Structure 1
Amino acid sequence: MLLSEQTATPLPDAPTSEQYLAGAAYRDKAPVVIDNGNSELRAGFASDYDPSSSSSSSSTSLPPLHFPPVVARYKDRKRSANILLVGPYVNMDHESKSKARTPNENGLLVAQDVLENVLDFTFARLGISSGGEEAEGNVEHPVAMTEQLCNPGYCRCLASELLFEAYGVPEVAYGLDSLFAAHANGVGPDGLVISSGQSTTTLVPMVGGRGVLASAKRLNWGGSAAADHLLRLLQLKYPAFPVRLSSQQASTLIETPGLFYAHPGGQDGDYAEHARRLSELKQLQAEGKTIQIPFTVPESRRGKELTDEEKAKREERKRESGRRLQELAQKNRLQKMMEKEEQLRTFAELKEYKNKERNSDWLKRLESAGYPSEEELIKAEKRIQSALKRSRRRDDGAADEGGAEEEAPPTFPLIDVPDHELSEESIKEKRRQRLLKAGYDARMRAKAEKREEKRAAEERRLKDEEERATNLKEWCRARRGEYEETIERIKERKRKRELLADRKSSVAQQRMKSITSLASEGKGGAGGTAGGGESSRGKRKRGAAAAAGGASRGEGGDDDFGADDEDWAIYRDIQGAEDSEDEEEDEQLLVTLEAKLLQYDAAFSRADTLAARLARKRALTRTFLGGTPEGEEDIAAAAAEKRKADRAKRAAQAGVAVTDLADEDDEEGGANGADSLEEKLAKQHQITLNVERARLTEVFFQPSMAGVDQAGLDDIGEMIVRGFEDEELGRRMVGNIFLTGRHTSYSGLPERLRNSLASLMPASWSSSISVRSAKDPRFDAWRGMAKWAREDRKEGWISRAEYDEMGGEYIKEHRFASAGW
């Protein structure tokens, strides 16, 4: 469904002076009927209403003039003149449209000057501006105008003063639009009229054909509040939407027929049950309605088709990027392994000093190295050994598999010979043999560790098989628990990465503290401990020392951090390489556990796996936000997300920025021509309404959902009806409930109101409850007022003499009055 901007109906041509003076409206002094709504003003002569039309919605009964009551000023720079724009003409100038003013605010008249401009335009379009010769400039027709329920006297005084003093009208009458709409639809004599307009919703009981205003109630919920509420819901649902949705677009959505509806309730369950059903994929998919928001394709983003030569070059760049990434990753792994080996040698040297000096001196040495106790030193050593084992297993595992023969142990004859007994060339050879021996010893340790790990893994496998054979049920329970714990660890790492994106989170603040501590150590660190086992206490001490002596590197304590490219290597030190290795182990463990549970646990199926859970969650999320849960576009999106995650993972392992690798892949979808770009932009500018369709109308019955601290329509209606002591009168009123107003045009609203009232009213009244809607909520109020003005010219009309005597706040009571005097 394409969302189009609301366009105002073209106004008819204004009659000429001759046509007006020769017409029956001037000759009979027909009353001017004005339905002064907040969003639309409808005006015409009472004689324009044709009571003999077969339907109230007939075109012969429409008001000749209806337009939004807005006023703006436009400055014509060519003529150096200010032009007043009224109604639909405000849209002619964008700048003027943004500064448009309305006479009413929340249904109350607050700007008399704006109302005067609107009335000038109204009378001019009706042809009244020409006037008669004996009363030039005056409006010689009585004026009937609608106003809000219990309109303040001050607001009525502004309107009366304008009509009597400025326009010289002979008579004025005020009435309530909902009662006039009921009159046009033949509602009465006893009933309950519910009207929901732009600002409020009113409930007015009718007894004997007259509105009982003392029992009337008002709900602070209308079309404008609903549009704002929908706009907030869409902003929460689509926080990164390409364009900003306006209140006018939200109002257009609300007024679109069939888009929103009221959940019927009753036998279908309440709204809460309906919302729970929408958590199912099929129900949510059937509920969705996709709306296309208008957009334009910028010329700068229009691409062109790539030639075969350009595609080949792009593929070559991608392959070259992959090779470069592999080289960087290998180099980075070797560098980290060398750093860990150096740290292990440092730990060994610290341990040797334990037997060579006093315990107090040794503890001071530990503290100066950044370890407050021997336990911290042992813990850091174990952590480095574990990381080193993982690195060796990944690099040397492939070479050890395949049953290769054991290499013969090399000899290093010069290592134990003192330097003073060797020549200069022999000393160089001795250094080379020492490096070779260190590499050989490292390979031997890795192989021994791998043999030990294989032996331990075989023992664990045999023990696991024994437990499974002994007690399968307990084994399945234990493996499921281990499976869920592994999933939680993976989720926790993901949550931590998401929190790092928020600068105000505790995780991000702790990361910045780590960056500060690493930066304060200077280039190279102390003792090679920055990458692994240094305690926070040692970091703080050296950080304070670096801060105290920072003036040696720059003026005013500036340490010139970042001046050297090597300074930025600290970001790789805290990039979480060990967390990445732990995550790989957890993923491998997850695959192993899934395979075992699928093989031996009858209660564990493919639907219980992590991949199936994520697939269901993604499908539900995609359906909620828009689109179908499966299909080519979903597969493409999933593949794009996977490529993005793989690039980030490989870049983290290689210690390079993701942007260094992403450019080549991003080119694939960036130059496929204008058609594909337009399709992509079209999907980005789509919104899907599903849960909002029934939620918006549910506010009528649960106003607290939108932050309105009032009772719902059903509760207010029950309170009004039960306020009348005559039980038979109450039964007649619930049997004649009338809905009017442009904000009541939702499908299912009458049925929902009936079901809700049936649950609140006595059981004997259930069969008597009847709710019906207006035939034309937009124009019925004007038709009812025109019909009343033609029928009754005595009751409710205020003359100029009564205005001079009683004042502008005076109002005469009549059947459709909006207030009492």
Structure 2
Amino acid sequence: MGVQHRIRMEGLESEEMLESTIKKLDNDVKKARKKDGDVEEEPQEEPTFPLLDIPDEELFEADLKEKRRQKLLKAGHEARLKARKEKEAARKEKEQEERRELEERTNDPVGWAAKLREDHELLVDKLKLREKRKAALADRKSTANMNRMKSIANLASDEPASKKRKKGGNSDMFGANDEDWAIYRKINIAVESSDEEDDLQQLALLESKLLQHDPKFTPAHTYASLKHQKSALLNAYRPSYDQAELDPNPGTTTRTRDIEGAHRLHLSVERWRVPEVWFQPGTAGIDAAGLGEVVASLLPHTRCGRVFITGGPALTRGMRERVEACVRPLLDPDMPVTAVRAKDPELDAWRGMSQFANTEEFKTALITKAEYEEWGGERIRRWWGGNWNNAF
């Protein structure tokens, strides 16, 4: 009962289905290993095809069918033998190449590393050039995209070949040379070419060898690291933090990590750009009107051309001029506007509210607890110094 329950828990109905699934998986594993060349094939008897040497006139109808089947079996057998020989030759060539590389690395490790570094640099430059071309093709007005369109136009304007060719006449030999197919890779920008896949595989192999045997080659020199390096200046002055995994048992092992450095965020934004968010909230991803638009929408209703700037940010150098510059284009030409900064921007707002709190008018601007519970904290009472939007 327990076995049947476990079989049903795995999504199978019976033991027969379990056995068939196991057999199928075993066959798949054997096929995959044979394809990769990890295991030697079991020796099999040499097949015989006795009917192939007998003329068709001497065979009956059933024998002729068997003879055709033996022809197919023989062709498949010969193809497998050829593939096995090619695989064996490739394996021997790979072993010879590995032995030759081992001897070269043992006898001259510096020269071996320099050679691999040179090959690595050539491949990286080749991939960067290909990425640059892809970026250029995305621009409709770029030279690369124009050349691509010219190639497409030339292919479309070629005269179709005649169906009936005269003997000895001109024939279409397109495709005889492998370079002919480069035109399709040139005009097709959506699919990666097989050359690029081969380059990436070769690059990964070179980097694995250099990381294993060349102490001067670090993960920072890999193509992935170079590709994601956005700013050379930022990376030049950024501390090199330990990228090891965080120790799950602190104090019990020697493995460690700079936790403070891993959680530190480095910014390359100049200080003067921080106040610009007040005028252009979109730069910070905020969908709201800027300070200039808000002020320009209030001035016509107040019939006053003076903007009073207070608060700590008012001490920012150039704030008064910046407010005037962003408000002026949004107002009528005949309406004057002047920005004035408070004498003590950091405390004047507090002093003014403190004085207003001591007046009787302050009580009319307050909201009661019942009003807060009904409207929430986003609604305020309408008074002369408050924001009338969404007020009651």
TM-score, length-normalised on structure 1?
A: 0.21
Higher normalized strand content (fraction of residues): 1
TM-score, length-normalised on structure 2?
A: 0.41
Higher relative contact order (CA 8 A, sep 6+): 1
